[in-house]
Amino acid sequence: MSHAPAPVKEKAQSLVAANAAPGVPAEVPVPLVLDTYVPPQKTWKSYIWSTLDVPKDEARFLTKLDLTLISSAALGVMIRYLDQVNITNAFNSGMKEDLELYGNELNFANALWSAAYVFGQIPSNLLLTRVNAPRYIAFLEFAWTAFTFGTAGVKNTKTLYALRFFVGLFEAGHFPAVMYVCSSYYKPHELARRNSLIQIFVSVGPLFSGFLMAAVHAGLDGRNGWPGWRWMYIICGVISLPCAVWTFFAMPQLPGRAKPNWIFSQEEIDLAKRRMPTEAKFFTGLFKWKDIKRWHTTWHVYLFPFYFLVAGQIGQAGGSMIFWVKSYNVKGQPPVFSVAEINIIPLGINVITIVGALTSSWISDSLPGSARWPSMVFAALVGVIIPAALGSTPVHPEPRATRWVLFYLTALSSTAAGVTWTYVNETSRNDPEKRAYVGAMMNAFAYIFTAWIPIFTFPTKNQPYVNTGMKVTSGFAAAALLTALAIGYMDHRDKKRARILGDEHESDKRRESDSTPETPFDEKASL
């Protein structure tokens, strides 16, 4: 927090008032914050990895962080998304027939998961900032692992619904939590590629799930009287358990509460606090009503959650591919695609997403000022064009490759999530509590709508004949495109005003220095 001279402060308050949301009382106090962060001078090494461009002691510390924090966060995200898509893979690999899920039961199960996920978002982030962060995140992973094992024995839809609800409840706090911990340790110019590395495991989970489902079905289907999809949940639980153990031991505590352990020395903890001075206080994130009112006078609380809300619907278009592949198998005729092929063919989407997300983060870091909004605009633009094309072409075209390629291209609309999380953390880096709040709001708003919109746009019983849903998805992408442009404009305006304010602050300090009366000449002293 910086304190400016009175004339500058008055001007700053008038500038901040212009950012206030409509209907918010003008008397809500807004603290003056000067944007003092200056990215370091870069060499060619930083374009490969930022750790290569810092002093040795800092490079050692960052390498330890990458090997512990990023690895545990990425593995946790992979397991969570592995579980999230397992139900779709299981549905298309025997669960539908075994549990007689011939209506919209899959949609309802996913809706209950999403409802629990939304419900747990903000309370989980509140709790995160008051407890031991690594222990809490590990507890979440252990809890959903237990319910994953339980899903292997599900006998009816009611049990399936209950298990999916509790899995969603425990998974709710995980992604915002690991992103919050990362943003507490890494500087803005270090964060985009790390966030994107974590974010791509959102795609690695489903990618791994498809291959795993194919392998389990080939090797374990019918073993001990259990179908392959039940063995799939057992194997996933076995994989999830050691990942939770690694999180327990490897995930670092928040800088303000960190103590020396088997990984980090006291000198490295002190270095972490010096690198991120806003994280040095012991408690962060205990939201108060006056803080929430203040945050709601800024655009971040509205535009970032709305962007995530509409952008989160774009991925539904690619999710339809597995149903499209299976639809070529007509009952009573030889199958066109095997169970393994049904699970593996759609994985091309995940491969393209992984490569695209990494490319997007590297490009974003290399743009002037490390601009984030161009990546968001590109992803949204793809989301406008490709689903519209899918919704306007035959479901079973000749040649088949036409629709196949369009499904794969939907991957490019999901490449900006890591950059977006970086953008959120950068724009609120001076206010850790607000950063946690906006992050939770983003995830919550995205899943509030993901819980019920697909029931109408992509109903399971109509798959893959969902051309209307494709067109609606294109509309959501158009809204995401406009929102990304608005975010870029507002951020540019804020930075411009901060520079003006900073320049005036320095000018006032110089004027005060120049106007200070000189010490009277002491004639006796001079003699």
Q: How far apart are CA 477 and CA 383, in angstroms?
A: 5
User: What integer best gives the mean pLDDT of the chain?
Assistant: 78
pLDDT tens profile 369-395: 778 889 999 999 999 999 999 988 888
Instruction: Tell me, yes or no, whether 269 and 302 share the same domain.
Output: no
> What six digits make up the tokens of 485?
């442009």
DSSP 265-311: -HHHHHHHHHH-GGG-SS------HHHHHHHTTSTHHHHHHHHHHHH
> Other C-beta atoms within 10 Å of 222: how many?
10
The reply to whether 418 falls in a domain is yes
Range of the domain at 497: 297-505
When pLDDT is averaged across residues 472-485 and rounded to a whole number, the result is 93
pLDDT at 278: 60
* Whether the predicted pLDDT of 523 surpasses 50: no
Instruction: Tell me, yes or no, whether 343 and 492 share the same domain.
Output: yes
The reply to whether 496 falls in a domain is yes
The reply to whether 162 falls in a domain is yes
The reply to whether 12 falls in a domain is no
Instruction: Tell me, yes or no, whether 421 and 318 share the same domain.
Output: yes
Instruction: Tell me, yes or no, whether 336 and 250 share the same domain.
Output: no
Provide the residue count of the chain.
527
* Whether the predicted pLDDT of 123 surpasses 60: yes
pLDDT tens profile 26-82: 444 444 444 444 455 565 555 566 666 677 888 888 889 889 999 999 898 888 877
pLDDT tens profile 306-320: 998 888 888 888 888
Beta carbons of 104 and 89 less than 8 angstroms apart: no
Instruction: Tell me, yes or no, whether 202 and 118 share the same domain.
Output: yes
Instruction: Tell me, yes or no, whether 130 and 174 share the same domain.
Output: yes
pLDDT tens profile 228-275: 888 888 888 888 899 999 999 998 888 878 888 888 888 888 888 887
Q: Name the more confident of 380 and 441.
A: 380
Contacts of 97 (CB under 8 A, 6+ apart): none
Contacts of 32 (CB under 8 A, 6+ apart): 1, 2, 3, 4, 9, 12, 13, 16
Q: How far apart are CA 160 and CA 167, in angstroms?
A: 11
pLDDT tens profile 386-421: 999 998 888 888 888 888 999 999 999 888 887 888
The reply to whether 233 falls in a domain is yes
The reply to whether 30 falls in a domain is no
CATH code for position 169: 1.20.1250.20
The reply to whether 170 falls in a domain is yes
Instruction: Tell me, yes or no, whether 344 and 248 share the same domain.
Output: no
Number of domains in the chain: 2
Instruction: Tell me, yes or no, whether 458 and 501 share the same domain.
Output: yes
- pLDDT band, residue 441 (cuts 50/70/90): confident
Contacts of 68 (CB under 8 A, 6+ apart): 250, 251, 252, 263
Instruction: Tell me, yes or no, whether 474 and 402 share the same domain.
Output: yes
* Whether the predicted pLDDT of 143 surpasses 80: yes
Instruction: Tell me, yes or no, whether 441 and 333 share the same domain.
Output: yes
Instruction: Tell me, yes or no, whether 201 and 321 share the same domain.
Output: no
